Chains A and B, each alone.
Chain A
């Protein structure tokens, strides 16, 4: 019934009228829609919705019959509707903007400025500690790294499966890393060859310290599919 008036919640006129009579009439702020409304309140309820009447006078003397109300709605002037739509649009835009603003604040709140995480680089002994052709699991538990030595170089493989982050197992006999979560398989080099993993294991930056000890820096990663394994920082020659 009060569809034409955005500033007032819909009210049932008959029930409300009694209590409204007791309070003094509100200062007559014309509702948004009525400024362009040519009909005055004297017009015997034609072209006026109940809530507009209320807004003007603060009092609704007679409950409006359903017939009159529908008539009012259908015969409401065109301008009225346009203003209404305009206010509706503004109202909803503002509402969405406020909601979006709060939403983005909350979203930002989820990302703290400071992170407390363990140190990302470690020393991994001397090159001679590693046997050619072997996968060393010495730093798997503490540092999530396999150190592999082949005939020419030493590289550090991340133990995080590129599928969904489980830790694969090194199967000595089959010469492969096999992920228990979804069955991805990787060669000793880290290249994927079976199961759902979309790309090879990542390698970490590896270098020799001044005293000849191996240093693995996990903040820097090298990905084969981007052609980064040729980068001299991703391996050390042995």
Chain B
């Protein structure tokens, strides 16, 4: 036994003392207090955190872990989303079949399931995160602005989920989008079905018509069709993730800059 342990120790020492290991992990195995602090300070990802925290801030009872989980689920959605893009073609002709094939013809065909349920989960975790932040009064100064950023993140989360809803091109999809886009068409002054639109006219020439209103901009056509599918696809895969990423960076940055996680003062 002790020989085995010795052997293990030797190998470990060899690895830990090798040039490669030392180049990657500057601080070594974090055993001492100093090393543990350095790990957080030096790592690009761990540096998201401060080095030390008041104890209440790590209690799950207090934080519910929901903010972190939202971010984690977002990462899961990004990864599975990229994988789904390999098999999905955003055209009216192929979209539905590709979605079916993802389950039936692709090995480990639960990628779409993870993506779909993950999307639901993210909406729930974001809601609960906001719930917690409200209940602890964490939006109070100096964190007011970060709460507002958080609201934008909530809206973006729901928009991401909404744009993804159309992509399977099934009955559920087109009718949800039909209703949604008709709401956009009812925007005051910017949609043909909304109040004020027919006031924006010179004589008989209307400025807001069914080919120049908010609904059209959303669908790329007058009905939910090829144009809408493509627009929603691009927004879902590139446009909105890009925007939400920017706001997430601001959100995390401000958590730190506003004094870390909230606590009694």
Report which A residues bind B (CB closer than 8 A).
Answer: 107, 110-112, 115, 117, 163-166, 181
- Pairwise interchain contact B221-A165, C-beta atoms closer than 8 A: no
Q: Is B175 an interface residue (CB 8 A)?
A: yes
- Pairwise interchain contact A117-B217, C-beta atoms closer than 8 A: no
Which stretch of B13-21, B134-142, B177-185, B244-252 is in the interface? Answer: B177-185
- Pairwise interchain contact A112-B179, C-beta atoms closer than 8 A: no
Q: Provide the main secondary structure of the chain B interface.
A: helix
Q: Provide the main secondary structure of the chain A interface.
A: loop
- Pairwise interchain contact A165-B220, C-beta atoms closer than 8 A: no
Residues of B within 8 A of A163 (CB): 182
Residues of B within 8 A of A166 (CB): 175, 178-179
Least CB separation from A182: chain B residue = B179
Q: Is B49 an interface residue (CB 8 A)?
A: no
- Pairwise interchain contact A107-B217, C-beta atoms closer than 8 A: yes
The smallest C-beta distance from B106 to any residue of chain A, in angstroms, reads: 32
User: By CB atoms of chain B within 10 A, which of A111, A163, A164 has the most?
Assistant: A164
Q: Is B169 an interface residue (CB 8 A)?
A: no
- Pairwise interchain contact B221-A164, C-beta atoms closer than 8 A: no
Residue interface bits B182-224, CB-to-A below 8 A is 1, else 0: 1100000000000000000000000000011000110011110
A163 to B182 Cα, complex, angstroms = 8
A115 to B210 Cα, complex, angstroms = 12
Q: Which 6 A-B pairs have the closest CB atoms?
A: A165-B182, A164-B182, A110-B217, A164-B179, A165-B178, A111-B212
6 A-B pairs with C-beta separation under 8 A: A107-B217, A110-B220, A117-B221, A165-B179, A166-B175, A181-B179
User: By CB atoms of chain A within 10 A, which of B179, B183, B216 has the most?
Assistant: B179
- Which of A107, A110, A115, A164 is close to B178, meaning CB atoms less than 8 Å apart? A164
Residues of A within 8 A of B211 (CB): 111, 115
A45 to B222 Cα, complex, angstroms = 66
Report which B residues bind A (CB closer than 8 A).
Answer: 175, 178-179, 181-183, 211-212, 216-217, 220-223
- Pairwise interchain contact B222-A117, C-beta atoms closer than 8 A: yes
The smallest C-beta distance from B235 to any residue of chain A, in angstroms, reads: 12
Residues of A within 8 A of B216 (CB): 110-111
A181 to B176 Cα, complex, angstroms = 9
The smallest C-beta distance from A204 to any residue of chain B, in angstroms, reads: 15
User: By CB atoms of chain A within 10 A, which of B182, B216, B222 has the most?
Assistant: B182
- Pairwise interchain contact A112-B220, C-beta atoms closer than 8 A: yes
Residues of A within 8 A of B181 (CB): 165
Least CB separation from B223: chain A residue = A117
The smallest C-beta distance from B151 to any residue of chain A, in angstroms, reads: 23
Least CB separation from B213: chain A residue = A111
Residues of B within 8 A of A165 (CB): 178-179, 181-182
A181 to B179 Cα, complex, angstroms = 8
A165-B178, A165-B179 known; 13 other A-B pairs, CB under 8 Å?
Answer: A107-B217, A110-B216, A110-B217, A111-B211, A111-B212, A111-B217, A112-B220, A117-B221, A163-B182, A164-B178, A164-B182, A165-B182, A166-B179
A125 to B178 Cα, complex, angstroms = 30
- Pairwise interchain contact B222-A181, C-beta atoms closer than 8 A: no
The smallest C-beta distance from B209 to any residue of chain A, in angstroms, reads: 10
